[in-house]
Every structure is written in structure tokens, then in C-alpha cells.
Amino acid sequence: MTEGLFSEKTKLRAEMRRRLKDHGPISRDQNSLRIEEHVLNFSAWREAQTLCLYASLPSEPHTRRLMSHAWSVGKRVALPRVQHPDEEMSLHWVHSRGDLKQGPQGFEEPRADSETAHLSDLQLMVIPGIAFDRQGGRLGRGGGHYDRLLDRADRRAVVLGLFYSVQEVPRVPHDPWDQALHWVATEEGCFRVTSEERLKQIP
């Protein structure tokens, strides 16, 4: 990563944190309900029998209802586990909230004895982020865990990012190793973004 790109990403993360703080908990709750409805009606969600989700942080679109819905209709749900910032993210099958515990990184994650999920088994990957653009760009929290995970994922899996519309920017600063989204869900709906191949061609 060049010094310029690092600075751009740092500034954008700070701007997004300000936007999310201004967004407020009431707006986040209301918009999260809309996002969940859009996801539940999304064809890739309806068709997927195996999927990756995440336990949302307070500033992120809520995912608890999505988890509960997936379990209620018999979908297999994998969640990420990261025990140390320098470790690779792993995915594990979870069958209820009882399979989760508070992890060292500040979010709920699968218990240590949870069964490992293989990336080749996943049909849909639902992931968070700090910012997004309409070219498939996604800015994470800076650890690179999801980018490394998506780089190893089955190319047939649909990658859906969950965001509030206030997190949209004209263009996310992009390093060669940053992985692209296929679709984005906000309170305004689910929409297709530029393919990963197109994103990698953006200078």
C-alpha cells in the first residue's frame, strides 16, 4: 500500500465514523429493518442453502434477524472467527446464538469447538464494511481479514455487502489485493455493482 492510499483510507474511515455517529441509533434501527427486508427478498438469499454471515457491531446494519431467519428455514450459517489481528479469519458453522461468544476483537464469534466451514461449501457471503462505491469497492476496518478470505472463496459464491446509504462514496481507495463486492444492500434496496474483474482494472 502506498503512503497516499493509506492516508486516503485512513481519512475515509474517519469520515465514515462521523457519518455513522450522526446517523444515530434510531435511524440505524429503522434502516436495518429495511435492509433486512431487502435481503430476505433477494434471490441469492432465497436460493442459498449455505451462507456466511457476521454478528453485527452496534454501528453496522443488524444481522440477528437474518441469522434467525436462516436457521428457521434450514439454511446452514457460518460466521467468522478471528482470535488475533494477525491471524487469518476462519469460518465456522453455527446453529444458534448459543454457539457464539464475545471474541477478543470486540464482536461475537463462533465458539472454539465449532465445526469449521469450508469456503467451497458457501453459496452466499454476506459481509460488512466501512464504505462502498458503485464500482464494487469496499473499505473495511483495516485488518484485511475479509479481503484475504474473499481471495480464497469459491468464485461462484455471491458476495453481498450490507451498508447504510450514508456509507456510499464516489470511489473507495483501492489496493490491488482489495476484493470486490458483487451486490450491495442498503435501506434503499439490493443492487448489482461492477464485477470484480472490472474493479481490478481500475487504476
List, for residues 117-158, the tens digit of each pLDDT value.
999 999 999 999 999 999 999 999 888 889 999 998 888 999
List, for residues 151-171, the tens digit of each pLDDT value.
988 889 999 999 999 999 999
Distance CA 180, CA 147 (A): 8
pLDDT at 187: 97
Task: Judge residue 15's burial from the number of C-beta atoms within 10 Å of its C-beta, 0-12 exposed, 13-18 middle, 19 or more buried.
Answer: middle
pLDDT, average across residues 50-66: 96
Report pTM.
0.91
If one looks up domain 3-200 in CATH, what number appears?
3.40.50.10420
